[in-house]
Chains A and B, each alone.
Chain A
């Protein structure tokens, strides 16, 4: 079974994404912040991490260095946020994010992308 981690301090958003993926036969975990994300990623190798804010990557830190073990392409990281300036998107991609989507997000599109991403890992 695939494992997905959702990172957000907003419980509503976290629930929304978790419930929209519920029929995909995936194991979904939630973390409230960067520390929680790092702690969970140390214990479990996730297939996909969905971060519901861009701020985690914009403070000069490199959170993906600890999340993604050296030499591995897993977990893939998707970021969903409100910002849509070119600079933000480029910064996120340079930080190692695989996919960036802006709110308001199409849940059908997100589910399709997640399904494609998980199928690629088989």
Chain B
């Protein structure tokens, strides 16, 4: 029997397998070197920007900028710095963004990509110091079908033009989710938005009222109790529930007519959820006597006695 074809076939298969393994190894090596280079560049860029922000002006040089992936690293570094710090001199950050054309580059990227890549580009853009003109350029993404893209476009507008933040949030055509309210509050904590909660709570726009409630809850503003009680007794169930949670987060008295009204209209799962929150906030079971049925009180007492609160 002639074995030659089999030997040739085996040799070919072995050669192809060896070549594939070599390519795979080369790719892994390239990725490892790239990850190492990215880590070094990230630290170097951060050091450069931080030095300019903390110690005053100076030339900012970003080595290897223009090579593949380096602009993303610089954008992520500046965005990261912007999101976890406050009170830094924005001048050097603006110079870096303008000098490297990061805003134009991210806008181009948002235009060319779709879906979550576009949302990612917009999220980076929202955390950079921007000119007001950028706010208009991302306006078209507010009509996107992707919720994430829509909201990040709004964040870019809020960050670029804080003076029109209330109008833009009011005109936003979709109701904010809890995560989106938290996103707006993150901008507020960076000092980009005003903390005037009064007009927000009385606004006819639902999104603005939700942001107002978020501000009251975030900063524990006890002066807003009367407005919170008004919202708790309002017809809008979701808003009323949030106002009630805001009241509870400030440990205010539950012996009000509006509170009883809201709790009476809650479904059983909602009431259970509220009981868990009340236990977390440390309300005594005596404070709930008039608000909950006798059947629900053992659940609350079990929660209090479970010492789950003590874990935190």
Interaction A to B: yes
What is the interface of chain A, defined by CB distance below 8 A to chain B? Answer: 11-13, 15-16, 19-20, 23, 58-60, 84-88, 91, 103-109, 111
10 closest A-B pairs (Cβ-Cβ)? A106-B87, A104-B86, A103-B84, A19-B50, A60-B311, A58-B312, A12-B80, A91-B312, A19-B47, A104-B190
Q: In the docked arrangement, what's the CA distance between A48 and B190, Å? A: 27
Residue B54 at the chain A interface, CB threshold 8 Å: yes
> Which A residues are in CB contact (< 8 Å) with B54?
20, 107-108, 111
Contact of A105 among B43, B86, B311 (CB under 8 A): B86
Q: Known contacts being A20-B54, A60-B311, is A104 close to B43, with CB within 8 Å?
A: no
| Inter-chain contact A104/B84, CB cutoff 8 Å | yes
> Which A residues are in CB contact (< 8 Å) with B55?
23
Q: In the docked arrangement, what's the CA distance between A9 and B50, Å? A: 21
Sample of 19 further A-B pairs with CB below 8 A, known A12-B80, A107-B85: A12-B77, A15-B42, A16-B50, A16-B85, A19-B47, A19-B50, A59-B311, A87-B280, A103-B84, A104-B84, A104-B86, A104-B189, A105-B84, A106-B87, A106-B88, A107-B50, A107-B54, A108-B87, A111-B54
Closest CB-CB distance, A79 to chain B, in whole Å?
Answer: 14
**Main DSSP-derived SS at the A contact region:** helix
Interface residues on B, range: 20 to 34
**B80, B249, B280 interface centre (most CB from chain A within 10 Å):** B80
Residue B158 at the chain A interface, CB threshold 8 Å: no
> Which B residues are in CB contact (< 8 Å) with A11?
39
> Which B residues are in CB contact (< 8 Å) with A13?
84
> Which B residues are in CB contact (< 8 Å) with A86?
220
